[in-house]
Chains A and B, each alone.
Chain A
Amino acid sequence: MQSSGWEGQLAEIVREAEAAFLLASTSKDLYELKVKFLGKSGSFQGVMKAMGALPPAEKPAAGKLVNEAKQRLEARYAEVEAALKAKELGERLAAESLDLTLPGTAWTPGAQHPVTLVMDEIAEIMSRLGYAVRTGPLIESDRNNFEALNVPKDHPARDMQDTFYIDEHHVLRTQTSPIQIRVMESEAPPLRVVAPGAVFRCDADVSHSPNFHQIEGLCVDRRVSMADLKGTISFFVGEFFGRGLKTRFRPSFFPFTEPSAEMDCQCPLCKGKGCRMCGQSGWIEIGGCGLVHPNVFQSAGLDPKQWQGFAFGFGIERMAIIKYGITDIRLYTENDVRFLKQFPS
């Protein structure tokens, strides 16, 4: 009964292993049992070795029996392992649960100041028409800020602008217009430039800041007319405030332009119907413009018989007031985080 001996032994191992598998509490324990029974030096291997002593005629049948037993055990192992792993994964996931309603790591978007946002936007719109950005110093010569712009000393137009003086020959520029002079003196026409920047007036109340910002545009060419100017402003208004808003010119006076005009656009808030922002008029004043005065061309060394040009200027804060509905100009210089973070980039 030698054969029944190893057969019995085989059956015993299978039974023992199956029972042990079922008792394993972790997939790691289970794996150790697999090694114990099915590994290189496991119980099963012992049976295999014993089989080597069998007569050749019995070997095929015996081999088949052993393989069947092994397959059965491996299947049982896979079954138990799957159950254990599923259980373990469940436990792990439960342990790993994270309350995502807790705050994350703080990261708030940064933001540019609305004044520079508006500057960039205007520069970008104008650059589609071929305008290049130019800058200039904030402490400017009296000559560039006034005289070359057709405002000699003792001219009543100096009353229009209260000026901060640094010394007899230098002022804090009261407008971005001196950049016009700098450009006309250093670059050959035709010219298309926009000049954004800080300007200063010796004047402060609830609606005036002594340090605010403007952007100035200048176009010089052989033939440039008021109609070209109006079309340019109209394009700008459409891009900046919204398509379909009309532009209107009103006669005005600036020493450096002739003819001069104030530019109005239809109120972007009420689309021209009349509201609180536009004082029920339907129109909002956005800046000044005109054809370059021949005296300005002459000061800058250009022959007014050969060159024509137009210039226009907007107050940046004013544009931001209209566009973003900012009502209090103090907000622009207070740098309150609650204000700044409203313009994320």
Chain B
Amino acid sequence: MKISLKWLQDYVDLADFFAKPEELARLLTSAGLEVESISDQAKQFQHVVVGHILEKGVHPNADRLSLCQVSTGDGVVHQIVCGAQNHKSGDRVVVALPGAILPGDFAIKQAKVRGVESGGMLCSEKELGLSTEGDGIVILPSDAPVGRGFAEYRGLNDVLFEIKVTPNRADCLSHRGLALEIGCLLGREVRAPKTELRRVAGAAGDVSVEIQAADLGPRYAGRLVRRVKVGPSPDWLRQRLENVGLKSINNVVDITNYVMMELGQPMHAFDTRELRGRGLIVARAVAGESFVTLDGTELKLDGTELTIRDRERTVALAGVVGGKNSGVSESTTEIFLESAYFRPSAVRRTLRKFGFETDSGYRFSRGVNPEGARLALDRATALVVEIAGGEAAAEAVDVYPSPLERAEIRVSLKWMEERLGYSVEAHDFETWMKRLGAEFRVLTPGDYLVIAPSHRPDLLIDADLLEEFARLQGYDRIPEKLPKLDTAPASHDAEYLGERRARRTLAGLGILQALNYAFLGDRAQKEFVGEARGWRDVGLHMDDEDVRILNPLNEEINVMRRALTPALYRNALHNFRNGERVGRLFEIGRSFHRRTRARSEKFAGTEFGEESRVAFCFWGGETDLWGRKEAAPPAMRLKSDLESFLRALGVTGWSWRKLDSKPSVAHPGQAAGLVLRGHLVGFIATVHPLRLEEDKFRTPVAIGELALASILEVAGLRRFQPFSAFPPVDRDVALVMSREVSAGAVAESFQRAAKRLASEGGDWLRSVEIFDVFEGSALGDGKKSVAYRLMFQSLEASLDDARVNSLRDKIVQDVCSAHDVAVR
């Protein structure tokens, strides 16, 4: 909200702040009315003067630019390049000379524009910060004095504050409201608005008012003014409105806006000759009725909206916008001024329903002063009579069948002390309540009954008064203490601890953590995810359909993510394109799905599920020492990192499974599922070559996505395991098998066989490692040879060769009978 210091000065004496507006800003900010910016017009328009275009020529190097010779009355002729088209020789214009700093920190300098010297700028309203639109430069009247400072010429010696008013402080959305606040803070007297009529009122009014929906519109006041002359507003009025960001329309409309900006009471003016009948009704709309707003928008009403109606139809949406059918026009001669109180919730519903944002609706929906309607009406009437002529009806109409009751708030100083943490003196409390304009009664010493002033409808309960007192005293009065801790702290959330441990472990493995949005575009998601079934079949929760956002910002982020890898893969591609040939990323976050709850549960119907996931994307092959060895595929790196991760978490007993059904983005021959406690909990895979080709991702890429909770669930406690003091014995076994046989499954089979042979020393088998794999014509078509190294070690004794060999033979025999493999 823009506030003019000159306007405030009408109501409270702030002459001492014109030279130091930043001090007033500090005062307001520390009282909770944050001043976002201050613009001091006098400073703003230094080096901006009225100029005279002596000659308008064409720029030698640019058809669209003009080259003007401009006099600024000091005998110097300034050559200025200008891009606008609306000026001609002889025009009086606004010239910003070098040294001027226009709004938006735009410094004007002597410069060359397309090779021609330009010593300043001819300004538009927009460049001067006086309006938000307008392309052409300002053309001043031909009698504008050349050389005069622009601020002086336009009477721009005001200071304007941009104030961020919080939703509870609707009372500060006007100049007098803010004057009351400042008066309270500084202890200065606040003047009343001038409401006396310049001319004695005319005949009695004959426009009646009836309230049929007092629940939504408790008060409606108005006054008929005859024989008004609609026309342009006087300069001072136009200036004040423009200063606070409103456009001048005509004198009557400007007055209604002026009173709103001055007193915070939104007003409306009807052209009574356009009304059907001589009566207005405050009532709900008729369902199905259509209504055209002042600016020509046609709306369909459903009967819940609060409206102002004449005998036949809606003439205004109460508190939101007037109707085209009854608005003030150039030919209007008789008006009915409206000043009402509508319920904030009623106005807000209408605003939301039609997506309106009007100054009037903004104020009503935050709560105007219900007792302020009459004052505003009198002020507006006085201004209309003064500015637009006319004759006010002898009496105003004011229908207010059941006046709103103000809250009686009981509060004690002790209660306040407990919550503020410092001692509250009765004298201080009473002083502030008086300055605030509250009525109060001492029930017993230190115990009060307070009624807040009607312009502060936000003060309803003791806690509101507590804040009000603390705020007026200044928050700097609050000391610093620490609350006593006399119960044992609770434990951290298990999910947080698990995720934190996972994050730290993965970062410790040299992987970088990415963090993506929880939503993405439905098309991108569909394209990457493919059939949901492939994801479900690897143990991940995934719906066929997206969880959609009803009101997305754009199509790039319109659904919740069903998987983390789509975005992570994009991150990898972005990095690859930026020169990162090799990289490893992980992300921990949630995926979303829908689930249907039983009716017996707390929230029946559709609910949403969130699965905690860990996802990976590795790309590029890491070579060993200066490219001496062939690069390992990223999927193998991912597998070993994932196993290191599991080991670090204390997970035991995992295995890998070849996948029949898997996400379509996976390379069909390079994918594996992780099995924990008999269940698939996710997958790793090389990304399908077609996908990489399409993205011109010219290096191998691996992805992985797993249900993190399923991993953390089996993450073990760390318990000490004894180990052997006797020497280990290695035995190598090479097996020939078909290419399709899973070498890993065979390795597990060694372990299983050893377990079965426990009575014959099977528990000596400490590890099974694959140390060589090769394929060659000597083996036969489609065959491979896999070499396993079995390490035997006993906890109790040194092993002798004969017993180890016999055990090995039995194990190998067992493995050979379980798989289609043979000893080479």
| Residue in chain B with minimal CB distance to A308 | B419
Q: Is the CB of A154 within 8 A of B348?
A: yes
Chain A CB within 8 A of B479 CB: yes
Chain A CB within 8 A of B532 CB: no
Q: A223-B418, A335-B516 are in contact. Are A112 and B478 (CB under 8 A)?
A: no
Q: Give the Cβ gap from A239 to chain B, nearest Cβ, in Å.
A: 13
Chain B CB within 8 A of A167 CB: yes
Chain A residues 108-125 with CB under 8 Å of chain B are 108-113, 115-116, 120, 123
Tell which of B379-387, B435-443, B458-466, B731-739 binds the partner.
B458-466
Q: Is the CB of B420 within 8 A of A227?
A: yes
Chain B CB within 8 A of A95 CB: no
Q: A294-B463, A345-B504 are in contact. Are A235 and B482 (CB under 8 A)?
A: yes
Chain A CB within 8 A of B724 CB: no
Tell which of B256-264, B301-309, B446-454, B579-587 binds the partner.
B579-587
Tell which of B111-119, B164-172, B240-248, B780-788 binds the partner.
B164-172
Chain B CB within 8 A of A318 CB: no
Q: A103-B626, A134-B493, A224-B483 are in contact. Are A110 and B508 (CB under 8 A)?
A: yes
Q: A115-B515, A308-B419, A340-B513 are in contact. Are A227 and B503 (CB under 8 A)?
A: no
Tell which of A12-20, A44-52, A74-82, A186-194 binds the partner.
A186-194
Complex alpha-carbon distance, A295 and B70, angstroms? 66
Q: Give the Cβ gap from B632 to chain A, nearest Cβ, in Å.
A: 12
Tell which of B29-37, B653-661, B699-707 binds the partner.
B29-37
Chain A residues 292-318 with CB under 8 Å of chain B are 293-294, 308
Chain B residues 489-515 with CB under 8 Å of chain A are 489-493, 495-497, 500, 503-504, 506-515
- The winner among B166, B345, B419, B518 for most chain A CB atoms within 10 A is B419
Per-position binary interface string of chain A over residues 2-15, scored 1 when its CB falls under 8 Å from any chain B CB and 0 otherwise: 00000000000000
Q: Give the Cβ gap from A286 to chain B, nearest Cβ, in Å.
A: 15
Q: Is the CB of B508 within 8 A of A345?
A: yes
Chain A CB within 8 A of B526 CB: no
Chain B CB within 8 A of A160 CB: yes
Q: Is the CB of B580 within 8 A of A337?
A: yes
Q: Is the CB of A200 within 8 A of B518?
A: yes
Q: Is the CB of A110 within 8 A of B513?
A: yes
Chain B CB within 8 A of A253 CB: yes
Q: Is the CB of A166 within 8 A of B489?
A: no
Q: Give the Cβ gap from A252 to chain B, nearest Cβ, in Å.
A: 6
Complex alpha-carbon distance, A50 and B610, angstroms? 98
CB neighbours of A196 from chain B (8 A) = 496
Chain A CB within 8 A of B624 CB: yes
Chain A CB within 8 A of B778 CB: no
Per-position binary interface string of chain B over residues 604-625, scored 1 when its CB falls under 8 Å from any chain A CB and 0 otherwise: 0010101000000000001011
Tell me the count of chain A residues lying within 8 A, CB to CB, of chain B.
93
Partner of B512, one of A110, A193, A247, A260: A110
Per-position binary interface string of chain A over residues 224-244, scored 1 when its CB falls under 8 Å from any chain B CB and 0 otherwise: 111110111011000000000
Q: Is the CB of A234 within 8 A of B480?
A: yes
Q: A102-B626, A103-B626, A228-B421 are in contact. Are A337 and B463 (CB under 8 A)?
A: no
Q: Is the CB of B516 within 8 A of A219?
A: no
Q: Is the CB of B517 within 8 A of A261?
A: no
Chain B CB within 8 A of A135 CB: yes
| Residue in chain A with minimal CB distance to B606 | A167
Complex alpha-carbon distance, A225 and B626, angstroms? 64
Q: A112-B503, A170-B608, A192-B490 are in contact. Are A135 and B421 (CB under 8 A)?
A: no
Q: Is the CB of A335 within 8 A of B504?
A: no
Chain A CB within 8 A of B603 CB: yes
Q: A108-B510, A333-B517 are in contact. Are A139 and B482 (CB under 8 A)?
A: no
Q: A132-B490, A164-B551, A227-B421 are in contact. Are A335 and B574 (CB under 8 A)?
A: yes
Q: Is the CB of A230 within 8 A of B466?
A: no
Tell me the count of chain B residues lying within 8 A, CB to CB, of chain A.
94
Chain B CB within 8 A of A94 CB: no
Q: Give the Cβ gap from B129 to chain A, nearest Cβ, in Å.
A: 20
Q: A129-B485, A132-B491, A226-B420 are in contact. Are A253 and B475 (CB under 8 A)?
A: no
Per-position binary interface string of chain B over residues 634-672, scored 1 when its CB falls under 8 Å from any chain A CB and 0 otherwise: 000000000000000000000000000000000000000
Q: Give the Cβ gap from B217 to chain A, nearest Cβ, in Å.
A: 15
Q: Is the CB of B547 within 8 A of A293?
A: no
Q: Is the CB of A112 within 8 A of B507?
A: yes
Chain A CB within 8 A of B15 CB: no
CB neighbours of A156 from chain B (8 A) = 167, 344, 348, 365-366
Q: Is the CB of A132 within 8 A of B624?
A: no
Chain A residues 39-79 with CB under 8 Å of chain B are none
Chain A CB within 8 A of B139 CB: no
Q: Is the CB of B518 within 8 A of A137?
A: no
Q: Is the CB of A116 within 8 A of B503?
A: yes
Q: A102-B626, A132-B493, A308-B419 are in contact. Are A137 and B482 (CB under 8 A)?
A: no
Q: Is the CB of B626 within 8 A of A252?
A: no
Q: Is the CB of B610 within 8 A of A293?
A: no
Q: Give the Cβ gap from B435 to chain A, nearest Cβ, in Å.
A: 16
Q: Is the CB of A112 within 8 A of B480?
A: no
Chain A CB within 8 A of B571 CB: yes
CB neighbours of A341 from chain B (8 A) = 512
Q: Give the Cβ gap from A195 to chain B, nearest Cβ, in Å.
A: 9
Q: Give the Cβ gap from B738 to chain A, nearest Cβ, in Å.
A: 35
Q: Is the CB of B467 within 8 A of A251?
A: yes
Complex alpha-carbon distance, A308 and B417, angstroms? 13
CB neighbours of A167 from chain B (8 A) = 550, 606
Chain B CB within 8 A of A248 CB: yes
Q: Give the Cβ gap from A151 to chain B, nearest Cβ, in Å.
A: 10
Chain B CB within 8 A of A207 CB: no
Chain A CB within 8 A of B560 CB: yes
Q: Is the CB of A164 within 8 A of B552?
A: yes
CB neighbours of A274 from chain B (8 A) = none
| Residue in chain A with minimal CB distance to B343 | A154
Chain A CB within 8 A of B575 CB: yes
| Residue in chain B with minimal CB distance to A285 | B34
Chain B residues 351-389 with CB under 8 Å of chain A are 352, 365-366
Q: Give the Cβ gap from B9 to chain A, nearest Cβ, in Å.
A: 25
Which 7 A-B residue pairs are closest in the complex by CB-CB distance? Answer: A227-B421, A251-B32, A225-B421, A259-B467, A253-B166, A130-B489, A110-B507
A-B contact pairs, 17 of them (CB 8 A): A110-B513, A112-B503, A112-B507, A123-B496, A127-B489, A130-B489, A133-B497, A135-B495, A139-B610, A166-B548, A167-B606, A204-B553, A231-B479, A232-B483, A235-B482, A252-B166, A291-B419
Q: A134-B493, A223-B483, A333-B515 given. 12 additional CB < 8 A pairs?
A: A109-B510, A113-B514, A137-B610, A155-B167, A164-B550, A202-B551, A250-B32, A253-B166, A293-B463, A335-B516, A336-B575, A340-B514
**Chain A interfacial positions (CB closer than 8 Å to B):** 102-113, 115-116, 120, 123, 127, 129-135, 137-139, 141, 154-157, 159-160, 164-167, 170, 172, 187, 190-193, 196, 198, 200, 202-204, 210-211, 219, 221, 223-228, 230-232, 234-235, 247-253, 258-262, 291, 293-294, 308, 332-338, 340-341, 344-345
